Amino acid sequence: MNKIILFTLCLCLTSVAAQAQQALTDNGEVNSPVVHEDQSITFRVFAPRADTVRVWGDWMPRTDGQTEGAEMQYNGEGVWTYTTTPMPSDLYTYYFQMDGVRVLDPENVHLVRDVSTIFNMVIVEGGRGDLYKVQDVPHGTVAKRWYSSPALDRDRRMTIYTPPGYEQKTESYPVLYLLHGMGGDEEAWTSLGRTAQIMDNLIAEGRSEPMIVVMPNGNVYQQAAPGKSPKGFYKPTMQLPNTMDGEMERTFPDIINFVEENYRVHADKESRAIAGLSMGGFHALHTSRYHPDTFQYIGLFSPAIYPGENENAGVYSDIEETLTEQKENGYELYWIAIGKSDFLYDQVKRYRSELDSLEIPYEYLESEGGHTWKNWRDYLSEFIPKLFDKTH
């Protein structure tokens, strides 16, 4: 038996991959990242020929959104090290810079893509981070599913979370439509957003109704995430055509129709929620008022608010009128959250005063921090327990 294992061990690994790994593990000490009992984290990388190695982390303080990262210390034997102070429980992303070049931690295969940048991930447990970790609880199903959008005349891809037991049961569920920001796609909320873990854990704790979470692609120009469509492998970009021109909002019924025809859901307003971050908050705002009797729960996370100057016609005409109609039709929750240092803070402030003057009720959460996934995971975790009548 050992013989087979050893043979397979040696040769299944594709050749020099093994060689590169060996240089690290022969050293015997290069474990990275290591979360200590006091919740500090040590990062290590083996780079004997480098002049400088830095670590960049999403927890580091920033000036104008920028951080220099932190210098790693060289131990004289090839290994560079950096240890943080004790960290609050959360999910963190990081990478190294070796002589100015971005390098992922070769010891950590847990990666996440934000637009065109790949980061390593690490979770500090013992609090908020536990919500983002896979726990020993019943798990929902995450599917990558294609659907036809007649209004856009193309097949498009979405991510759908169905709650634990969905397949065995015969009951119907409410639905949250959860929208990503600019540069994101149908993969953002389940990767950076940890939606499946948050849902599994909140449901297991009895803090969330079992629900279906639909995460469509909000870039109507795209069929699917970069690399997942017939366009093939290409480098993602932040800016795409037609992202905030009304097409997403206008064609949103295609998504609802597909979900309500293909899943066991309550196909009524009381059982529909819509939320999104940044551009997705913009889409949630305008979709919910353009279809003003469709959603019972609306969540705007660090939302963009105002359409561009050239976007006064079509979907974006009569904004006050449709907001008023939405209010008159009634809804259970209109929830807005933003960080104090978010660059969209002033837009949200202006929008709140407009809602006030229209006497449109909303709940408001103002958090620390800015336009970050840390905040959006937080906001989702706060928003979910508020959704749907538990006695439906």
Q: Does 76 bind its own copies (CB under 8 A)?
A: no
Question: What are the beta bridge partners of residue 156?
Answer: 147
- In the complex, the smallest distance separating the C-beta of residue 228 from its own copies, rounded to whole angstroms, is 6
In whole angstroms, how close is the CB of 315 to its own copies at the nearest point? 13
Report the site for its own copies in 166-225 (rule: CB under 8 A): 167-168, 181-183, 224
The Cβ of residue 46 has, within 10 Å, a number of other Cβ atoms equal to 20
The nearer residue to its own copies, 81 or 329, going by C-beta atoms, is 81
Three-state DSSP at 392 gives coil
List 201, 208, 219, 278, residue binding its own copies (CB under 8 A):
278
Strands of the chain (E only): list them: 34-35, 41-46, 53-57, 70-71, 73-74, 79-83, 90-98, 101-103, 111-114, 117-124, 141-149, 154-162, 175-179, 212-215, 272-277, 297-301, 333-339, 363-367
Applying CB under 8 A, among 45, 175, 202, 387 the residue interacting with its own copies is: 45
Q: Which residues pair with 91 in a beta bridge?
A: 123
Q: How far is the CB of 159 from its own copies (least distance, A)?
A: 10
Cross-strand bridge partners of residue 162: 141
The answer to whether residue 369 forms part of the interface with its own copies (CB under 8 A) is no
Cα separation, 18 vs 312, whole angstroms = 58
- Of 131, 118, 117, nearest to 88 by C-alpha is 131
Which residues inside 345-364 make contact with its own copies, applying CB under 8 A?
Answer: none
Residue 233 within binding range of its own copies, rule CB under 8 A? yes
| Contact residue for its own copies among 28, 76, 230, 330 (CB under 8 A) | 230
User: Is residue 267 a contact residue for its own copies (CB under 8 A)?
Assistant: no
Distance CA 83, CA 33 (A): 10
**Binding of its own copies by 276 (CB under 8 A):** no
At 151, list the tokens: 């209004």
In the bound state with its own copies, the residue whose beta carbon lies nearer, of 26 and 359, is: 26
Span near its own copies by CB under 8 A; candidates 132-140, 284-292, 317-325, 384-392? 132-140
Q: How many residues make contact with its own copies (CB under 8 A)?
A: 114
Q: Which of 187/327 has CB closer to its own copies?
A: 187
For 86, residues 6+ apart whose C-beta sits below 8 A from its C-beta are 38, 39, 40
> Does 375 contact its own copies by CB under 8 A?
no
Interface with its own copies includes 37 (CB under 8 A)?
A: no
In the list 26, 37, 38, 51, the residue contacting its own copies (rule: CB under 8 A) is 51
Q: Which of residues 301-330 bind its own copies (CB under 8 A)?
A: 304, 306-311
- Judged by CB, which is closer to its own copies: 55, or 384? 55
Residue 339 to residue 343: CA distance in whole angstroms = 9
> Would you say 81 or 97 has its CB closer to its own copies?
97
Backbone angle region of 388, left / alpha / beta, with phi > 0 → left and psi within -120 to 50 → alpha = left
What percent helix, strand, coil does the chain show, rounded to 5?
A: 30, 25, 45
- DSSP track, 29-61: -----EE-TTS-EEEEEE-TT-S-EEEEETTS-
Tell me which of 121, 214, 319, 338 binds its own copies, using CB under 8 A.
Answer: 121
Q: Using the rule CB under 8 A, is 28 a contact of its own copies?
A: no
